[in-house]
Amino acid sequence: MRRTRGMRLGLSALLVAGALAGTGAATASADEPVAGEGLLTALQQDYGLTAEQAEQRLADEAAATEIEPAARQAAGSAFGGSWFDPASGDLVVAVTDDDHAGAVEEAGARTTLVRHSEAALNTTMASIDTLAGSVGAPDAVASWQVDPRANSVVVNVVEGTESTAEVAAFLDEAREAGPVAVRTVGEAPQTFAAGTVGGDPYYTGNVRCSIGFSVHGGFVTAGHCGPRGADVFGWDRSHIGQFQGSSFPGNDYAWVSVGSGWWTEPVVLGWGAVSDQLVRGSAEAPVGASICRSGSTTGWHCGTLLAKNETVNYGNGDLVHELTKTSVCAEGGDSGGAYISGDQGQGVTSGGWGNCSSGGETWYQPLNEILSVYGLTLHTA
């Protein structure tokens, strides 16, 4: 299919990875650096890039984020999903017919022809959600999500369980809903809360979690870290505030009021790996973009945004919908911590599998949904 490169856009000077944050997307002027030196160094280490390649990748990702809304609109009902291609630096948009390709390419994206629209895949996804909610999903069925690159709904199952009677029966019923592909993962997912230990956390009861992004009046975090009304204490055990809203399972988000001498800042912690980073907005990064996470157990780690709108099965009937999957590692106590791409906040840590020694995958609850649900305003620099 035809191919058009989008104009390169500069990122603002600082980016983030950790504890607190803000709203609204901002684009820097072309003469500003695409990132702080610390973040560029981290991306070089995590992706094996040169300094020039790291800077170019961040510029490409910023351009893709900027282009995506217009490209989606241009595709209309033919839209089959989109993702960032790091090899070419393009935003790729799947379309179900050639008639819409030209308009999408004029918006700055590259196109590829697929069979199923995103709307059709979302219908299949909803049917599998309904199936899991009514008959239950086996614990070995880790998650499922619309994958635009596969042009199907991908169901992820723990390796070695595919042929067990319970999993096979669930997959047979899932396939009746529409286009389904099956992939294997190393372990079943779990949330990343932890028992009380030292560190730089917040505490509620005997649970330690991590602060996500600063909002005016408090901060957002994971819902499984505490119920509405629960008291929250800081790293020094002084009182911060209370959970004003919390939702888990189904969702995994919450927000905590801040008072008692505490205040909010539009930054996330770099934990010495990078400098503490300013948050300038919450523009949603595309699949394929680089993304970094900050948490009170494992600090700062980076990886790739793998999938969106994924339903995750944490076992015991605890399903969480519309999470975003990454290749970034995490461990107990990192729950609630911030994910950031460029200088744009993306979400708060929900759970995953693996660890930061052997690797794994993690999911986050998208930030913009939390802001919308609770009517919050992100604290930005």
- One pLDDT digit (tens) per residue for the chain, 381 residues: 333 323 222 222 211 222 333 333 333 344 555 667 777 888 888 889 999 999 999 999 999 999 999 999 999 999 999 999 999 999 999 999 999 999 999 999 999 999 999 999 999 999 999 999 998 999 999 999 999 999 999 999 999 999 999 999 999 999 999 999 999 999 999 998 765 434 468 999 889 999 999 999 999 999 999 999 999 999 888 899 999 999 999 999 999 999 888 888 899 898 888 888 889 999 999 999 999 999 999 999 999 999 999 999 999 899 999 999 999 999 999 999 999 998 999 999 999 999 999 999 999 999 999 999 999 999 999
Asked whether the beta carbons of 125 and 98 are under 8 A apart, the reply is no
Rounded Cα distance, 95 and 102, in Å: 11
Rounded CA-CA distance 177/127 in Å is 6
> What confidence score (pLDDT) does residue 34 get?
62
3-state secondary structure of 280: coil
Told to judge if 163 belongs to the known catalytic residues of this protein, a careful annotator would answer no
| DSSP-assigned letters across all residues of 251-306 | S-EEEEE--TT----SEE--BTTB--EE--B-PPPPTT-EEEEEETTTEEEEEEEE
- DSSP-derived pairing of the beta strands 290-295 and 338-341: antiparallel
What is the phi/psi pair of residue 170, to 5°? -65, -40
Catalytic residue, candidates 200, 252, 334, 343: 252
Query: Which among 350, 329, 348 is positioned nearest to 339, based on CA atoms?
Result: 348
Give yes or no: 321 in active site: no
**Would you state the pLDDT for residue 200?**
66
Check residue 176 and give its pLDDT.
97
Alpha helices in 176-242 (DSSP H): none
Q: Which helix (H) or strand (E) holds 366?
A: strand 359-366
Structure tokens at 167: 């999993």
Query: Which residue in 334, 253, 326 sits closest to 286, CA to CA?
Result: 326
> Is position 335 annotated as part of the catalytic site?
yes
Cβ contacts of residue 69 below 8 Å, gap of 6+?
A: none
Q: Which of 224, 301, 321, 379 is catalytic?
A: 224
- Residue 130: exposed, middle, or buried by beta-carbon count in 10 A (0-12, 13-18, 19+)? exposed
Helix 118-135 vs helix 165-175: crossing angle, to nearest 10: 140
Residue located via tokens 């990748």: 57
d(CA 325, CA 287): 9
Phi-psi region of 368 (alpha: psi -120 to 50; beta: other; left: phi over 0): alpha
Considering 143, 294, 335, 350, which one is annotated as catalytic? 335
3-state helix, strand, coil in the chain (%, to 5): 25, 35, 40
Q: What is the pLDDT of residue 118?
A: 98
